[in-house]
Amino acid sequence: MNIINLVKIAITALLRNKGRSFLTMLGIIIGITSVIVMVSLGQSSTQGVQSQLSSMGSNMIMIMPARQMRGGVNMGNSNAKSLDLKDLKSLENNTKYVTHVSPSVSSSAQLVFGNNNHPGALQGVAPSYADIRKYEIADGIMFTDEQVKKYAKVCVIGKTVAENLFTNGEKPVGQTIRCGQVPMKVIGVLESKGENGMGQDQDDIVLAPYTTIQKRFLGISHFNMMFASATSEEESELAATEITYILRSNHNIKQGADDDFEIRTQEELLSTMSSVTQLLTILLAAIASISLLVGGIGVMNIMYVTVTERTKEIGLRMAIGAKGKDVMWQFLSESIILSLIGGSIGIILGIFISYALCTILNWPFVVSKAAIGVSFAVCAATGMFFGWYPARKAANLDPITALRYE
């Protein structure tokens, strides 16, 4: 009995019970689809997080005030005032592994131009912020250190802001917009960065000198946080150590006492985020595999029914010369074909669904070749594994008993 004949017999048998074959396949289809979708989505989110983080600059370092604990109550870190101008100056001047430092203060205000208005997120930063965050200026210029010194009423706006305020085709650069009560001159427009992995619009932003935000909007002298960039990605840990040392001495923190600030390097963030999403991917894939297992048991169940139902046929085939292994392969190829067809449909469906989901969620669409390969192998193995026992049962039947079976 050759392979072509085997496959022909198996397919004929499967077609004889179309409904049942399809339902059996459905288990495999659902299993494989969910494995592919879960792995693809997991990888998409991993890649999304990674590309988003590295687009921020892979040698970026964030410094923020530590959470304030008062009587065991976590006060959060937004109202901590530990970072100030003194820290900025010493980080600018006394470091070896830090190339740029920028403070950051945030405020919000309604932006108005002509008849248009738009709720704006104002971020007060130093000119070096553009270098640290890898912002490009599409049109105009970034403000200067000189303008920072003078609390200049200038700003650089993101694309979304520009589109919302300048609806009549005006050129944004050179126009004056009102931010709350403060008139500000637009001197630059940022290159679009699109949405980040969480679906936030990174272009809905207004950058202004930090002094301007501190004095004219908030009336504070500390910073909400600081951004720095290390000389290179590899040296970000060294830079972090250096910054820790300087800030501790600035803040007079005694040896053994906790830092009153937190430092996050991008590298660290990247690896934690990746490991979280990877863990998630594995978890999801494991859950999806259970449905594949259930599908496989479905195949086994149906193969048992099929073998019992066709006992007489098996007896007849043996009587006219089929060997045990012929019968075994006949049923094994049925379950393998069932699994492979189900698997192929599942793979196609899985790719389709992950593509749809990625489009909806605005994630990068990653289709894992490994997942497809493994799924296919798993399908064949499922067919083999779950078909083997029923097939062997068929092969070991005694022809006389099988022929008499009613």
Cα 225 from Cα 77, distance rounded (Å)? 10
Asked if 202 contacts 148 with a C-beta cutoff of 8 angstroms, the reply is no
Cα 295 from Cα 312, distance rounded (Å)? 28
- From 242, 267, 313, 334, residue interacting with another protein (rule: CB under 8 A): 313
Assigned token pair, 87: 């820290």
Q: Which range touches another protein (CB under 8 A), out of 135-143, 156-164, 334-342, 398-406?
A: 398-406
Asked if 302 contacts 38 with a C-beta cutoff of 8 angstroms, the reply is no
Task: Give me the least distance between CB of 5 and another protein, in Å please.
Answer: 6
- Output 5 or 249, the one with its CB closest to another protein: 5
The position carrying tokens 């669904």 is 353
User: In this structure, which amino acid lies at residue 251?
Assistant: H
- From 81, 89, 149, 312, residue interacting with another protein (rule: CB under 8 A): 312
Does 149 bind another protein (CB under 8 A)? Our answer is no
In the range 9-38, which residues lie near another protein by CB under 8 A? Answer: 9, 12, 16
- From 1, 85, 137, 182, residue interacting with another protein (rule: CB under 8 A): 1
Query: Per-residue contact track with another protein, 319 to 348, x per CB under 8 A?
Result: xxxxxxxx----------------------
Cα 309 from Cα 332, distance rounded (Å)? 16
Assigned token pair, 190: 């940022």
Task: Give me the least distance between CB of 307 and another protein, in Å please.
Answer: 15
- Output 3 or 370, the one with its CB closest to another protein: 3
Cα 303 from Cα 27, distance rounded (Å)? 14
- Output 16 or 96, the one with its CB closest to another protein: 16
Task: Give me the least distance between CB of 305 and another protein, in Å please.
Answer: 16
Task: Give me the least distance between CB of 325 and another protein, in Å please.
Answer: 8
Asked if 321 contacts 1 with a C-beta cutoff of 8 angstroms, the reply is no
- Output 166 or 331, the one with its CB closest to another protein: 331
Q: What is Dmax (Cα atoms) for the chain?
A: 104
Cα 179 from Cα 185, distance rounded (Å)? 10
- From 7, 218, 357, 403, residue interacting with another protein (rule: CB under 8 A): 403
| CA 157 to mean position of chain CA atoms | 28
- Output 67 or 325, the one with its CB closest to another protein: 325
Burial 229-243 (b: 16+ CB within 10 A, else e): bbeebebbbbbbebb
- For another protein (CB under 8 A), the number of binding residues is 23
Query: Site residues (CB under 8 A) for another protein?
Result: 1-2, 5, 9, 12, 16, 312-313, 315-326, 399-400, 403
